[in-house]
A = this chain, B = another copy of it.
Amino acid sequence: MYLSKSRRRLHCCRHLQEDNRRTMEKTHKPKKVFIEGPINPEFVAKSIASHQSKTGIGAHAIFLGQIRADQKEGGAVAGIDYTAYEEMAEQAFHDIREAAFTKFELTCMHIYHSLGVVPTGEISLFVFVSSPHRRAAFEASEYIVEEIKAKVPIFGKELVGETGQHVWKENR
């Protein structure tokens, strides 16, 4: 517990000061994960740029989930409308973060997920991990994405065609 907290002081980049304050507390406040609507490529660029002052980092692994135009009975998927059990989801994201920091040698970790409508071709999930070495970055990236898919209560309504039909999405 002590180790995890003292390592945490080094983790995060943009929230470094906040983390320093938090070392006195028993628990950490979850970080903001949800974003209304699609995740912008510009936002990804800004996240990358903000890590250039962290000169211990040697490898970044980024995963982006993009909405596919899958064919359904009523036509092609035009987008997904995401909802979540937000309080439980934030807790689940927090647990995934803590587990990943324990399992892998990570310098930074950021997770963002969309809520509301994300049109086909746009990005709904952005997982960004940074490490001194590539192996930890690769492994953490996969681990986090699989954990999100399996454990975070997010629900997706696939909007089909132009007639207002929909199909509920299910992760495999």
- A residues near B (Cβ < 8 Å) are 41-42, 44-46, 48-49, 51-69, 76, 120-123, 130, 132, 134, 137-138, 141-142, 145
CA distance A79 to B52 in the complex (A): 13
Cβ contacts A to B, 30 pairs, < 8 Å: A41-B45, A44-B44, A51-B66, A52-B66, A52-B121, A52-B122, A53-B121, A55-B68, A55-B76, A55-B120, A57-B66, A57-B68, A57-B121, A58-B65, A58-B66, A58-B67, A59-B63, A59-B64, A59-B65, A60-B63, A60-B64, A60-B66, A61-B62, A61-B63, A61-B64, A61-B141, A62-B64, A66-B130, A138-B142, A138-B145
B55 contacts A121, C-beta separation under 8 Å: yes
The 5 lowest CB-CB distance pairs between A and B, nearest first, are A45-B45, A55-B69, A62-B62, A41-B48, A60-B64
Chain B nearest Cβ from A139, distance in angstroms: 9
Q: CB-nearest residue of chain B relative to A39? A: B48
Chain B nearest Cβ from A36, distance in angstroms: 18
B54 contacts A48, C-beta separation under 8 Å: no
A56 contacts B41, C-beta separation under 8 Å: no
Q: CB-nearest residue of chain B relative to A120? A: B55
CA distance A56 to B55 in the complex (A): 37
